[in-house]
Structure 1
Amino acid sequence: MKPSYTNFNDLETDLKRLNLERRIAWEEIKLLKTEFKDDLTPYNWIEPIIKKASKYGVFMLVRKMFTKH
């Protein structure tokens, strides 16, 4: 439903508000793009793999210590 404006001040106020909302949305999109690029960096992929491998290695070491040969 389109709003009906009684004067130009209401129209200008609404246009300013809509412009601010558009600029905020644009900044949020830019922030999401940056976060997405950061998530795809190799360091962010390698770090969890190294952590899991080290946990698995410690588990295997402890298991080897407590099992009979």
Structure 2
Amino acid sequence: MQNLRLLKAIVERKNRVRRGGDEGQTVFEYLGIIVIIALIIAAIIGSGLAASISRAIGQVLVRITG
């Protein structure tokens, strides 16, 4: 009986440690994705592609609605 209580306590502690250890990592993963997306957007705007993309989308919308 004593061994079962000890085993249960060990398993519960490991589960708490696992859950707590992933939270910070997830925040940094999301931050990394946001930084990459921001860099891609900055590159598109900086290269002048933004105007071309905007024109192409406008032409497609005119075809769909017109």
TM-score by length of 2: 0.53
Greater Cα radius of gyration, structure 1 or 2: 1
Q: Which 4+ runs in 1 deviate beyond 4 A?
A: none
1:36-61, Cα deviation, whole Å (9 max, x unpaired): 222222x423416844412528x8xx
CA RMSD, aligned part only?
Answer: 2.9
Aligned with residue 9 of structure 2, among 4, 8, 11: 11
Other-structure match for 1:47: 44
Structure 2 alignment gaps of length 5 or more: 59-66
**Structure 1 residues 9 and 21: CA distance shift in structure 2, 3 A:** same
Choose between structure 1 and 2: higher helix proportion. Answer: 2
Structure 1 alignment gaps of length 5 or more: 1-5, 60-69
**Matched residue pairs, number?**
52
